[in-house]
A and B are shown apart, each in its own frame.
Chain A
């Protein structure tokens, strides 16, 4: 295998410059159709509104915590759009917008963060793994599941989302190695948003770009401008196709930026300048795509997407403002396939306490 075919582009793939004009760094990738780009834009508007709403609900005490992905909408939406219904998505806690773009309902997405249950949706039905908290651990599950599907003769692909900090975890490296050795149809999509809570990328890795980590495992890799939705979608489309055709896994790094703090519990002013954030606000992925699409996107359509997003925000509020019925007895239901004698005794104890 020629080393050159594994190396990422020397600079991030970019279709659209920050001012919305066509850039000449498309790396030879096929540009997604205008219909797909419009679909992406619509979901990015929806996703951003969802993100703002979820952050507001946290301040109102309706959510325990919310890790925002503001500024990363191009990555979040492209990850969902690159996949077909029978593909699997392996998200982290910061990828709620990707779940929304995948079509999950707000109540399903936010059950975890509201504190009602550890996962609000059925992974088998949605083909979305539970949002993963321990960093990089789900990359191995994605590799294993992709290999399982390959063995079963399904043409499905798994896409694992992770951040820049998680690439320092051992499981990330083990997952890349396993996926490459087994030629599993999996795409590892790193959203390098430049901060792991407070630690900047410069203190995280000495690599020229995280995409270069692929070649050590014999894996095809690419880097892309993460705030250019056209480029992210083009590169992920190609990576998913590569994996689906049985050519092996792909590592994609998107260079983006976390506009908000790590979560509502974090104070980002302690570790980064307002100037830096302001600069990245200028690189807004929505505005860039909107400008690029120009006349393809009518004002009526933009208004329609925004109204849709407002309605969606209302649904999010309505769903989250209604308290879910929680049954303490359910605590014992799924520890094992059948509750053990010990759990039956503890269940009886809690039941008696509730009746007292």
Chain B
């Protein structure tokens, strides 16, 4: 049976609420309505207003209130309705959520999850499509994870809720309705591990969140060009799983990082730096990036020009200096 990412997230919330009385779900429209993306559909009806409830419309308030509730022994899972609507909570997230454990030398911990639907590709108007990951990954003290598949949506959200550290949980909204067979047995990789989503020997595509599916499509299309593409799904943006990524790049000798967010100062810059520092002698070409444009997120009718797609990624793979060290058929 196919489970969509939205349904997998819903199942993860339900199972966490069942397993731990301290878990509470709250935010804007998450109660009766079930969230604007229906991720909390039916949870208030089944678990009661006490466990899943609507709050006043104030993002800093939601996160700051959750900080106090976590200090008081609960495990809040809060929803920011859209990426750009989380910005009012930025001070609470960066100055308190990320730092309270450190500030109190471990006396206080904040086991809380901030769920943020992020990135574009849904024809959303301005402020509904931002890729805001680096604001959070640049803040020590936060864990930042993002699922690329429905299975990971379930596994990562369960792990995030059980984590003793605060987790910013970025949900690629364009993939909410994509599904697959999902196992609810929790035997996936640890939350901070990247995975090789598809094995290949010529080039590593490094992607996360909404771009995992795009990278997988690209890998299939690349076979027509004779390239055997490996896809690494980062899953955890902070901390970064150097081991899995560098092992892949050392095998293939070439890498392309793909993300929707603007390229300048983006997450890909960190990945390229780390891969170059650790794999320099195994690289046959510079590590390249395919990113969103360095522009404010465009209006819906123009967003396709912003988003990395299969063709743009294939064009980038083509620039990996194949003439210098050509792929040897059958090697």
**Which A residues form the contact surface with B (CB < 8 A)?**
117-119, 122-125, 129-130, 134, 137, 139-149, 151-152, 158, 170-171, 174-175, 177-178, 181, 330, 333-337, 340-342
Contacts and interface: CB of A to CB of B under 8 A. Distances in A.
A333 B105 contact: yes
14 contacts: A118-B99, A119-B107, A130-B100, A134-B91, A137-B92, A140-B92, A145-B69, A147-B69, A149-B72, A152-B73, A170-B60, A171-B92, A330-B105, A342-B239
B238 to A, nearest CB: 8
A174 B72 CA distance: 19
A124 B107 contact: yes
A335 B141 contact: yes
A145 B106 contact: no
Contacts of A125: 107
B96 A177 contact: no
B95 A336 contact: no
A113 B95 CA distance: 18
A148 B22 CA distance: 10
A123 B107 contact: yes
B104 A122 contact: yes
Contacts of B74: 148, 151
B8 interface: no
Contacts of A143: 64-65, 68
B296 interface: no
A144 B60 contact: no
B108 A123 contact: yes
B21 to A, nearest CB: 10
A181 B26 CA distance: 14
A201 B288 CA distance: 55
Interface centre among B72, B99, B243 (most CB of A within 10 A): B72
A342 B67 CA distance: 26
Contact of A177 (B58, B63, B165): B58
Nearest to B236: A340
B72 to A, nearest CB: 2
Contacts of B70: 144
A217 B42 CA distance: 30
B69 A148 contact: yes
Contacts of B101: 334-337
Nearest to A139: B64
B207 to A, nearest CB: 21
A129 B96 CA distance: 12
Contact of B105 (A119, A137, A144, A336): A119
Nearest to A141: B68
Given A174-B56, A178-B56, A124 B108 contact: yes
Closest 9 pairs between A and B when the two form their complex, measured CB to CB: A144-B68, A148-B72, A140-B64, A174-B61, A145-B68, A337-B164, A144-B65, A340-B239, A141-B68
Interface in B55-89: 55-56, 58, 60-61, 63-74, 88
B105 A341 contact: no
A337 B100 CA distance: 12
B240 interface: yes
B183 interface: no
A151 B69 CA distance: 10
Contacts of B107: 119, 122-125
A263 B140 CA distance: 29
Contacts of A330: 105
Contacts of A140: 60-61, 63-65, 67-68, 92
A145 B65 CA distance: 8
Contacts of B243: 341
A178 B58 contact: yes
Contacts of B165: 336-337
Contacts of B88: 170
Contacts of B96: 134, 137, 141
A134 B95 contact: yes
A25 to B, nearest CB: 35
A29 to B, nearest CB: 28
Nearest to B143: A336
Contacts of A139: 64
Contacts of A337: 101, 109, 163-165
Contacts of B55: 178, 181
Contacts of A152: 72-73
B72 A145 contact: yes
A171 B68 contact: no
B242 interface: yes
A64 B65 CA distance: 31
A146 B103 CA distance: 21
A207 to B, nearest CB: 20
Nearest to A330: B105
A197 B127 CA distance: 35
Contacts of A333: 105-106
A123 B100 CA distance: 11
A330 B101 CA distance: 13
B196 to A, nearest CB: 18
B192 interface: yes
Given A122-B107, A177-B61, A148 B91 contact: no
Contacts of B316: none
B102 interface: yes
B60 to A, nearest CB: 6
Contacts of A118: 99, 102-104
B64 A334 contact: no
A340 B91 contact: no
A174 B63 CA distance: 11
